[in-house]
Amino acid sequence: MMVSLVRACALALAGFGLAVGPAGGREIWRSGDAYLDLGGTVREIALVSRGTSPEAFNAGLAQCFPPAVPNVPSPSEFANCPAFAAVGEKRVATSTTRLRLRVEARANAHWSAVVSFDNELLAGTLDTFEGRFGDDLAARDFLDASGQIGEDPVAYRYSLYRGYLSFESDRLEAVVGRQRIPWGVGRLWNPIDRFNSIRPLALQPDESPGVDAINARILFSDFSQLQLVFAPGRESRDHKYAARLQGMVGNIDYGLVAGVFDGATTLGADFSSNLGKAAGRAEIVYTRPSTRADRNVWPVGAPGP
């Protein structure tokens, strides 16, 4: 029955994909400034690689560091651990067929809304140490709008990619819901981007995850603005809130950031400018970790708890 259900989901994905086209949209209704659009994209990702078996890796760790002796290992003990012999010894193959449906509506010149929903057919397995580690780094959204039907090797997964209500005026812009908040100017890495950081092991590293947040921008001029963001967590200690002042001095664009992310006070700045026919970009971030009681820091080589 589960296989039949997954096949039905696959047929539904194909049908929706043919309806909306591979990478386009269509206008359903329009009246003056108001409109309703439906669009969608289809993407196929196939991966064949070598990974690390979690069972083999954990067995090697148990030989090096018995659970009965909870000490923090020294660098030399790590270097000789047989667990690392299991790294890259497991063949893995996986395929992801994703249909992303997008509905965009505008009521007037000020109010609009967007909902973008992902439907994915998963085939194969990515049960590796690296894959599990990447899952642990996944963002914990305030609203859990996702789910999965079935398990390896075939499954159907759905999730809310974007969903927000937007207000726009001459001096104020506000967005509430799951959205992208792109901060920083770097091309390969954005240490100042604390709301939409991409998992290092993500299969789609070109896509930024969304964050459930209240995002307001006060526009002072065409080149300067103050942005205030609050992203609630499932617990009060997981709340994120920050402010960013953006402007221009001469031919240098700058951004100044101050906020608290997962209890860590953060200050940062980013700069960008044209240097002849090239471009110069820089980001600087200072973070002071939280000192709350549930956060433990162990020096390397120190005895465990």
> What is the residue-level pLDDT of the chain in tens, covering all 305 positions?
544 555 555 445 545 554 444 455 789 999 999 999 999 999 998 988 888 888 888 888 787 776 666 565 666 666 778 888 888 888 888 899 999 999 999 999 999 999 999 999 999 877 776 666 656 555 567 888 899 998 878 999 999 999 999 999 999 999 999 999 989 898 777 889 888 876 655 666 667 778 999 999 999 998 999 999 999 988 888 899 999 999 999 999 999 999 999 888 999 999 999 988 899 999 999 998 876 655 555 555 555 55
If one counts the domains in the chain, the total is 2
pLDDT for residue 12 = 54
- Has residue 215 been placed in a domain? yes
- Are residue 187 and residue 212 in the same domain, yes or no? yes
Does residue 82 lie in a domain region?
no
Domain's final residue, options 131, 163, 195: 163
Q: What pLDDT does residue 180 have?
A: 93
Assess if residue 255 is contained within a domain: yes
Instruction: Give the whole-angstrom CA distance, residue 283 versus residue 303.
Output: 37
Residues 246, 273 within the same domain: yes
Same-domain pairing of 14 and 35: yes
Query: Same domain, yes or no, for 291 and 152?
Result: no
CA gyration radius, the chain: 23
Identify whether residues 149 and 268 lie together within a single domain.
Answer: no
Same domain, 179 and 248: yes
Same domain, 226 and 102: no
pTM: 0.78
Tokens of 276: 């002849």
* Tokens describing residue 40: 């969608």
Question: Does 1 fall in a domain?
Answer: yes
Range of the domain at 22: 1-52+88-163
Query: Are residues 159 and 178 located together in one domain of the fold?
Result: no
Contacts of 228 (CB under 8 A, 6+ apart): 215, 216, 217, 218, 242, 243
Co-location of 194 and 144 in the same domain: no
What is the tally of helices (H) and strands (E) in the chain?
Answer: 4, 13
* Other CB atoms within 10 Å distance of the CB of residue 259: 20
Q: Which of 241, 254, 273 is closest to 184 using CA atoms?
A: 254
- The answer as to whether 60 is a domain residue is no
- On whether both 176 and 294 belong to a single domain, the answer is yes
Q: For residue 57, count CB atoms less than 10 angstroms from its CB and return exposed for 0-12, middle for 13-18, buried for 19 or more.
A: buried
Final residue before a domain boundary, out of 163, 190, 211: 163
pLDDT value at residue 120? 95
**In whole angstroms, what separates CA 29 from the centre of its chain?**
32
Residue 304, token pair as written in the block: 């465990």
Of 114, 132, 163, the residue at which a domain comes to its end is: 163
Q: How many beta carbons lie within 10 A of that of residue 22, not counting itself?
A: 11
CA distance linking residue 157 with residue 43, whole number of Å: 14
Residues 219, 274 share a domain: yes
Q: Could you tell me if 198 and 186 are in contact, meaning their C-beta atoms sit under 8 angstroms apart?
A: no
The CA distance from 116 to 147, in Å, is 15
N-to-C CA span, the chain: 49
With tokens 């960013």, the residue in question is 244
Distances (CA, A) of 4 to 90, 99, 125, 154: 30, 19, 19, 11
Q: Based on the domain organization, do 175 and 133 belong to the same domain?
A: no
Q: What is the pLDDT of residue 149?
A: 94
DSSP assignment letter at 195: S
pLDDT of residue 103: 96
